[in-house]
Chains A and B, each alone.
Chain A
């Protein structure tokens, strides 16, 4: 176990390191980068001397590997480097990137976790019910619904929900069931927090649940065809126990894998959902930062996103070993 963890964490660090290089190189590709960054910071009235100063201060003209080195280990005034947990400062307001991440992360986390719980429940329940009675009415009903939402892009569903449940209900029927877009902090008002997130949760959950219905159904069907399920039935166990204890446990492995990756990707920013509902989470901030060429913020969010994926992969492998006794971590 310890050896497994050490090896996987080292591998993960390597991957994160490569990701930061990829992000840096991407911006090095843009020859007009320093000028347009300086122009954005200085504004229209900035003199060439001022622009030059901005470029010098931020070290934008330095060789890309020098910039990367300063980012990694610091060595210039005001920078401590990634290895000391310093991600630098936002180009425009001078806010520490860690602070930007701290404000945006709770929004994305609330959105991702809430939606994930919803879609896992919906997907598992409908998938298992379908698999228990294949070709029944219920099966056809769930699989058709799943296919429908599986084919529906997230942003289309989000906009439709906004149109129907917010605009039509509120402005036409004068029913204030759903609030407008926005985010209320969980610690300030849990009820308002959930109320504001209801539509974004639904949007994300319904679209993702569709894939899980399909996955859970096919995985469950495979497992229910195994010999040991017949044995369990022959022992006289209740059908409920056979399905949930013997069947579902084995069927969960591929679902857990997919779930880990999906949640991790969302934690790195649910770009589309956050854009549709104007939630200022990591995905939204990232898009803003990219449009402003705010490299420190972008790298910060990319690091958070890839850490999430790496950690999720390790957690998934550990879960694998717990769920399936045949799997050994080494």
Chain B
């Protein structure tokens, strides 16, 4: 399905005749629709985006319903099964009827831990994107609108955050603050994430600022804040939303990476990145300890990436679709 099939053009073409049998439907189509409505409808017709949205919902359900997995299997998330969860040599048990996805190096049920592991991933993905995008957009807005000193200061700060090796700073912050945590991950990712958003918004605002309607607002005596939030924000928000949706999978990967480097969630909390890190001790004899959390991570980021691409196409029908 190409974007032309999903976009506004084809809807115009179906206006006369096609829906003649259902005049009510036709009347609905003629109604003026906001860009939001149009974007939503394009998104809804994008098969890949709908499927990925469903996958995301399933993952969210797994995260929320993780205790259900524990209840059904009867295996607690941090419960160690020393007698039947580890082999005689002390190695993890392969996937089977008792442990559906096998056990990890501590003899814990991998399935239950993977379900619980969705929680930090999703939490960090969504919260970080929200903070990053909001803060970045406000900074970009101020830099772009006020210009001069404000712009210079914000631009230098952006340069500095973009030149600092983010992983090194994350490791350093963890060392200084005495160990990693979920909140540290969110803080680090937000500190280094906002600058890209700010750069994009700043560029946009620079050109919007010179438009006639902004001049009109100013001549009517509107305050800078009113102009920024009432007149400019609606023109940049679509781009910001697109960026936010593509930022979620990036944040999830970053969270897993930080946890892999032992800066994120601390044991025994279940986390995909941390599970992969601890699988390194046993994965030559227990491939499932590496592969299953890896696959869980991959499915999540893949679903968010496909959905993000769908959101981008929905807001910008000009952009050629990357993925079918």
Contacts and interface: CB of A to CB of B under 8 A. Distances in A.
Contacts of B324: 135, 140, 143
A214 interface: yes
A22 B160 contact: yes
A147 B305 contact: yes
Given A160-B290, A293-B175, A153 B253 contact: yes
A269 B164 contact: no
A151 interface: yes
- Grouping DSSP codes into helix (H, G, I), strand (E, B) and loop, the A interface class, with mixed when no group exceeds half, is helix
A152 interface: yes
Contacts of A156: 256, 276, 290, 294, 297-298
Contact of A271 (B163, B168, B284): B168
A29 B174 CA distance: 12
A309 interface: yes
Contact of B160 (A19, A147, A153, A171): A19
A27 B305 CA distance: 37
A287 B169 CA distance: 10
Given A15-B156, A26-B176, A155-B276, A143 B323 contact: yes
A19 B322 CA distance: 38
Interface string A167-189: 10001000000000000000000
A147 B302 contact: yes
Interface stretch (A48-56, A75-83, A86-94, A297-305): A297-305
A265 B192 CA distance: 13
Interface residues of A, number: 56
Contact of B320 (A30, A134, A140, A159): A134
B302 A159 contact: no
A261 B195 CA distance: 14
B127 interface: no
A152 B293 CA distance: 12
B123 interface: no
Contacts of B55: none
Interface string B9-20: 000000000000
A291 interface: yes
B257 A163 contact: no
A293 to B, nearest CB: 7
B229 interface: no
A155 B16 CA distance: 55
A305 to B, nearest CB: 4
9 contacts: A153-B257, A160-B294, A167-B284, A221-B320, A271-B167, A286-B168, A293-B175, A302-B165, A310-B163
The 7 tightest CB contacts between A and B, nearest first, are A151-B301, A309-B163, A151-B302, A306-B163, A305-B165, A30-B176, A156-B294
